[in-house]
């Protein structure tokens, strides 16, 4: 099945990707994931998304919602790690008036409020045993009961959960209920870490660099060496770390021209320096220096430089573009 994802035109923000189109990357793993998301979206079953922090689990959850038949209904995300035991219960299930001290009004929980739509339970592994038991009952019965109330209400929910650890391992250690695991883990989606899909780094970096420049009103470009250094990094914090590095880089960068790798954090720079360049990279670096030197000797005039290099004027122009030779800055040879 080919699920494509769509684009939305919004007046203030330009074109915004919807559905699987949100997921950038052409690596095999990403192409496969987009396909799986499209298929899972069409079915009504619960989905468990596993992956390291910052890999895009929430994005996958949104894509699932937007590709599915509930796309026009509510998508409610709740981070199970950010609430205390009591709060998560009232947050999810709501409470009746007078259920506890301070419950001056009855309150609808998130599950009830998003009935008809999708609820995204982020970091579901962090739920307390009590909340796990209550969630299990809710999912089994398809009904919800507020804290401090005996009335039940029918629920119609698509449940998507995410975790950055293996929930099966958590269950094996007794930290997560097996029965709840089976309820949640019907369709399983694994989001690979960025280091396992290095082919996606350049596209992600370009996308987020452009977005950052809109925010900083900058116009600088990432030098090829900078891009190589980004591609060589391990990214333990995954796409979120990449976004943060680019934001810091945009602040440090000049308004125009090329952003060299010297502005990158030392750890990323050093890793790239220690890595041996590939033959293609070394050739490119050689070509850049060679062409740059010829242009320097000719004082920037293209015709004499082209003659010296044995190229046509158009040939040189193309090469200058392809090699990304900035007018002022000498390229660095590794």
Which is nearer to ligand ADP, 192 or 331 (by Cβ)? 192
Which is nearer to Mg ion, 36 or 126 (by Cβ)? 126
Which is nearer to ligand ADP, 207 or 290 (by Cβ)? 207
At 130 the three-state DSSP class reads helix
The answer to whether 107 touches 95, Cβ cutoff 8 Å, is yes
DSSP 161-211: EEESS-HHHHHHTTSS-HHHHHHH-SEEEEPPPGGGGGGGHHHHHHHHHHH
**Contact between 38 and ligand ADP (CB under 6 A)?**
no
**Contact between 165 and ligand ADP (CB under 6 A)?**
no
Which is nearer to ligand ADP, 56 or 109 (by Cβ)? 56
Q: How far is the CB of 122 from Mg ion (least distance, A)?
A: 5
**Contact between 58 and ligand ADP (CB under 6 A)?**
yes
CA distance 291 to 264: 26
φ/ψ of residue 225, rounded to 5: -65, -35
Overall residue count recorded for the chain in this entry? 334
**Contact between 19 and ligand ADP (CB under 6 A)?**
no
Part of the chain binding ligand ADP (CB under 6 A), chosen from 18-26, 173-181, 219-227, 304-312: 18-26
**Contact between 163 and ligand ADP (CB under 6 A)?**
no
Residue in 25, 46, 68, 260 binding ligand ADP, rule: CB under 6 A: 25
**Contact between 56 and ligand ADP (CB under 6 A)?**
yes
Instruction: Work out whether the CA dihedral 7, 8, 10, 13 comes out positive or negative.
Output: negative
Annotate each residue in 73-112 with x if it binds ligand ADP (CB under 6 A) or - if it does not, as one string: ----------------------------------------
Which is nearer to ligand ADP, 33 or 320 (by Cβ)? 33
Size of the site for Mg ion (CB under 5 A): 1
CA distance 133 to 130: 5
**Contact between 118 and ligand ADP (CB under 6 A)?**
no
Q: Which residues sit opposite 159 in a β-bridge?
A: 119
Residue appearing with tokens 């990357």:
25
Picked from Mg ion, ligand ADP, none, the partner binding residue 19 (CB below 5 to 8 A depending on kind) is none
The answer to whether 308 touches 294, Cβ cutoff 8 Å, is yes
Instruction: Work out whether the CA dihedral 138, 142, 145, 151 comes out positive or negative.
Output: negative
**Contact between 311 and ligand ADP (CB under 6 A)?**
no
Q: How far is the CB of 55 from Mg ion (least distance, A)?
A: 9
Tell which positions 220-279 bind ligand ADP, by CB under 6 A: 239-240, 243
Residue in 6, 24, 29, 58 binding Mg ion, rule: CB under 5 A: 58
φ/ψ of residue 107, rounded to 5: -135, 135
CA distance 232 to 252: 21
> How many other CB atoms are there within 10 angstroms of residue 199's CB atom?
14
Residue appearing with tokens 């793993």:
29
Picked from ligand ADP, Mg ion, none, the partner binding residue 55 (CB below 5 to 8 A depending on kind) is ligand ADP
Q: How far is the CB of 298 from ligand ADP (least distance, A)?
A: 43
**Contact between 138 and ligand ADP (CB under 6 A)?**
no
The answer to whether 40 touches 81, Cβ cutoff 8 Å, is no
**Contact between 241 and Mg ion (CB under 5 A)?**
no
The answer to whether 151 touches 145, Cβ cutoff 8 Å, is yes
Q: Strand 187-190 and strand 143-145: pairing?
A: unpaired
Which is nearer to Mg ion, 82 or 140 (by Cβ)? 82
Q: How far is the CB of 41 from ligand ADP (least distance, A)?
A: 16
Which residues of this chain interact with Mg ion, rule CB under 5 A?
58
């Amino acid at each position: 099945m080919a699920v494509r994802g769509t684009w939305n035109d919004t007046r203030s923000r330009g074109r915004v990707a919807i559905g699987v189109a949100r997921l950038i990357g052409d690596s095999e793993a990403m192409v496969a994931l987009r396909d799986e998301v499209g298929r899972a979206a069409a079915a009504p079953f619960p989905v468990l998304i596993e992956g390291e922090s910052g890999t895009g689990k929430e994005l996958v959850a949104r894509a699932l919602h937007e590709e599915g038949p509930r796309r026009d209904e509510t998508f409610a995300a709740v981070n199970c790690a950010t609430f205390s035991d009591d709060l998560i219960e009232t947050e999810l299930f709501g409470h009746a008036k007078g259920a506890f001290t301070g419950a001056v009004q009855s309150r609808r929980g998130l599950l009830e409020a998003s009935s008809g739509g999708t609820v995204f339970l982020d970091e579901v592994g962090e739920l307390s045993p009590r909340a796990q038991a209550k969630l299990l009952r809710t999912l089994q019965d398809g009904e919800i009961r507020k804290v401090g109330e005996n009335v039940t209400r029918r629920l119609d929910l698509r449940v998507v959960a995410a975790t950055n650890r293996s929930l099966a391992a958590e269950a094996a250690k007794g930290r997560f209920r097996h029965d709840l695991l089976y309820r949640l883990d019907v369709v399983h989606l694994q989001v690979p870490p960025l280091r396992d899909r290095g082919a996606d780094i350049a596209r992600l970096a370009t996308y987020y660099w452009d977005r950052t420049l809109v925010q900083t009103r900058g116009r600088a470009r990432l030098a090829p060496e900078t891009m190589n250094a980004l591609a060589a990094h391990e990214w333990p914090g995954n796409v979120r770390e990449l976004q943060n590095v680019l934001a810091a880089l945009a602040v440090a960068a000049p308004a125009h021209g090329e952003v060299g790798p010297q502005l990158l954090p030392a750890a990323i720079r050093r890793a790239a320096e220690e890595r041996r360049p590939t033959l293609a990279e070394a050739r490119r670096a050689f070509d850049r220096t060679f062409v740059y030197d010829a242009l320097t000797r000719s004082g920037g005039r293209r015709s004499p430089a082209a003659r010296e290099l044995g190229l046509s004027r158009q040939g040189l122009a193309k090469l200058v573009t392809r090699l990304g030779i900035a007018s002022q800055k000498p390229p660095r040879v590794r």
